[in-house]
Structure 1
Amino acid sequence: MKATKALPPLLPLCRRLLHIGPAGLSLTLLKATALEIAILAGHLVLYPSGMTPERRPSPVPPRTLAHLPDADLDPAPGPDPAGRAANSTASSAADGIADAARLPCPNRPPVVLLHGFIDNRSVFVLLRRSLAQHGRQQIESLNYSPLTCDIRTAAELLGRHIEEICERTGRQEVDIVGHSLGGLIARYYVQRLGGDVRVRTLVTLGTPHAGTRVVPLANAHPIVRQMRPGSGVLRELCEPAPHCRTRFVSFWSDLDQLMVPLETACIAHPDLLVQNVRVSGIGHLALPVHPAVAAGIRQALDTEEGTDRAAARPGGGLTVA
């Protein structure tokens, strides 16, 4: 899968600046705007490097018990303690060989990074580095095509990728970090396609969970229409999900130029285990880049299951930047 277009211009933020006027122009907004422009410029430079799919690590060729000597496979006859010990050793060796056929498995699940609309995996260069520096050994960045016209189809494709990742790594669960549309695709997979059995924690960054009204002209793209308030996809996500096991952590920014209204990036669902985290002073493009957000993501992914559900219900949150 490849993405072939650059990020859209920062038109919504520019309009906001023009409407504020010099007297009302805050230093915070100016800094956020400058940061967004700098990030956009840097991302345009990196964009070509993320257009190709990520190389997947090759598993070790499988080995079987046939590689072990026959003497190690056949227990000695009779109640010989030495024979039983040898048999136990052979069994342990066989288990070790079976484990060696898989990639190394750290204590934490693999992390899957899913980009936003008309973007690619290059947006996660800094976040990926931050996660790796803090002990995450298995990190996968997935691309989906900008020609994708249906969130449901993209969620099905995500599900197949996650099954492949679990098979290759020998893990039963993954964590997902989704930016913008990527978070909505991952949420649909978790809630509507049974993905909660595979996804331990889903972190979303600036995702229009309740739909955004920004840039009405973008409705020409079918997947943008699915991100509008009241769309069929969003109505499905509002339906009951009483048995959903995935933890949700939604980061939303008070200066996100693509979320209209801003609170649309919060998750409000009575059946889901959710923590909404407010990020102050940065815009939409900075969410997968800012070091304070990266620290918050690491904390969310490192939180053990079984934490206080009341503390993680919708309506909570904290300022991390």
Structure 2
Amino acid sequence: MLPVARALRHLAALLLAVAVAIVPAAAAHASDTSTASATSSGWNDYTCKPSTAHPRPVVLVHGTFGNSVDNWLSLAPYLTNRGYCVYSFDYGRLPGVPVFYGLGPIEKSAQELSAFVDKVLAATGADEVDIVGHSQGGMMPRYYLKFLGGAAKVNALVGIAPSNHGTTLLGLTELLKYFPGASGLLDIATPAVADQIAGSDFLTELNAGGDTVPGVHYTVIATRYDEVVTPWRSQFLSGSDVHNVLLQDLCPADVSGHLAIALTDRIAHHEVANALDPAHATPTTCASAVS
């Protein structure tokens, strides 16, 4: 029988392997190179001024083990080509871990988001931003909205496969109870992963008293084929200004999973654009894949 310490290492490796599986292969970019690539592709341009048609800059928030470029290689150009000022940033860095971000304590990451939103508002002269986030990036901004004064600076939050109520990782998190001390190990190794386990102290605090705050428009875009944030219905929010969308209700033939829904799925991209500009929304269908 394995010693407890060795068993814990095996369990942590298992959970991390599942999480790493959601990282795009393009994540080999270094942070400074990624920032340059983003600017040359039309986003993270701090000379951009929002137009009358799109008066709010869009802040993109990557997911766990993601970064500010690889998560948005498709959606960021999609939005900039439609006239939006678009910005992304790296958050949740752990010492000695390059390229793979979104790993630190989520409360601290929300503080980093707060500082970045202030930076974008100062550069653009806008009064508010819209936030679009994937996975952890669709959930973490809710802490900023609820506890850090973000509701006064954010018009809309669009979550793509967000971990709003945590995840069971297809039931793998149930193994934690068989390994005393395993949760503590995850807290040390990858705090953000621990924070996103269904029933965590962080999520209990975040969701106490309701999922939403007044004055912010919420959209959640989920796929029934999500293999990371499970069960997929846990992604949906409850509240008076919430629009929950299941991708397969828009296009039954869409089989995108947790990664593809944010990285390559233009049907989901179209629904993001609708959420950012509901006054000019057009129906999202399977044909949106080529629009």
Query: Under a length normalisation based on structure 1, what TM-score does the superposition of the two structures give?
Result: 0.64
1:252 aligned residue: 222
Give the partner amino acid of 1:117: T
2:41 aligned residue: none
The share of aligned pairs that are identical, in percent, is 27
Cα 1:243–1:130 change in 2 (3 A) is closer
Note if contact 1:190-1:196 (Cα within 8 Å) is conserved in structure 2. Answer: yes
2:51 aligned residue: 106
Cα 1:194–1:11 change in 2 (3 A) is closer
Equivalent-residue separation in structure 2 for 1:135 and 1:57 (angstroms):
12
Residue by residue, what CA displacement relative to the aligned partner does 1:149-173 show, whole Å, maximum 9, x if unpaired?
Answer: 3111100110011011101110010
Cα 1:114–1:243 change in 2 (3 A) is closer
Equivalent-residue separation in structure 1 for 2:244 and 2:30 (angstroms):
29
Please say if 1:120 is aligned against 2:94. no
Give the partner amino acid of 2:222: W
Cα 1:12–1:261 change in 2 (3 A) is farther
Equivalent-residue separation in structure 2 for 1:174 and 1:257 (angstroms):
30
Cα 1:267–1:201 change in 2 (3 A) is same
2:195 aligned residue: 226
Equivalent-residue separation in structure 2 for 1:47 and 1:12 (angstroms):
11
1:92 aligned residue: none
Alignment of 1:153-232 (within 5 A): 153-214=108-169, 215-216=172-173, 219=183, 220=186, 221-232=190-201
Please say if 1:298 is aligned against 2:238. no
1:283 aligned residue: 257
Cα 1:10–1:227 change in 2 (3 A) is closer
Equivalent-residue separation in structure 1 for 2:141 and 2:159 (angstroms):
9
Note if contact 1:267-1:274 (Cα within 8 Å) is conserved in structure 2. Answer: yes
Query: How far apart are residue 180 of structure 1 and its match?
Result: 0.4
Residue by residue, what CA displacement relative to the aligned partner does 1:45-70 show, whole Å, maximum 9, x if unpaired?
Answer: x22336336355455xxxxxxxxxxx
Equivalent-residue separation in structure 1 for 2:19 and 2:114 (angstroms):
33
Cα 1:190–1:243 change in 2 (3 A) is closer
The alignment covers a number of residue pairs equal to: 229
Equivalent-residue separation in structure 2 for 1:227 and 1:273 (angstroms):
24
Equivalent-residue separation in structure 2 for 1:58 and 1:133 (angstroms):
16
Q: Secondary structure at 1:163's aligned position in 2?
A: helix
Q: Secondary structure at 1:287's aligned position in 2?
A: helix
Note if contact 2:135-2:229 (Cα within 8 Å) is conserved in structure 1. Answer: no
Equivalent-residue separation in structure 2 for 1:106 and 1:254 (angstroms):
36
Query: How far apart are residue 287 of structure 1 and its match?
Result: 1.2
Superposed CA RMSD: 2.9
2:88 aligned residue: 141
Give the partner amino acid of 1:106: S
Note if contact 2:146-2:213 (Cα within 8 Å) is conserved in structure 1. Answer: no
Q: Secondary structure at 2:256's aligned position in 1?
A: coil
Unaligned runs of 5+ residues in structure 1 are 1-7, 14-35, 60-102, 308-317
Give the partner amino acid of 2:50: C
Note if contact 1:112-1:177 (Cα within 8 Å) is conserved in structure 2. Answer: yes
Equivalent-residue separation in structure 2 for 1:177 and 1:171 (angstroms):
17
Larger of the two Rg values belongs to structure: 1
Equivalent-residue separation in structure 2 for 1:223 and 1:199 (angstroms):
23
Q: Secondary structure at 1:54's aligned position in 2?
A: helix
Query: How far apart are residue 194 of structure 1 and its match?
Result: 1.6
Q: Given the alignment, which residue of 49, 54, 61 partners 2:35?
A: 54
Cα 1:173–1:184 change in 2 (3 A) is same
Note if contact 1:12-1:257 (Cα within 8 Å) is conserved in structure 2. Answer: no
Question: Greater shift after overlay, 153-162 or 218-227?
Answer: 218-227
Q: Secondary structure at 1:296's aligned position in 2?
A: helix
Note if contact 2:219-2:244 (Cα within 8 Å) is conserved in structure 1. Answer: yes
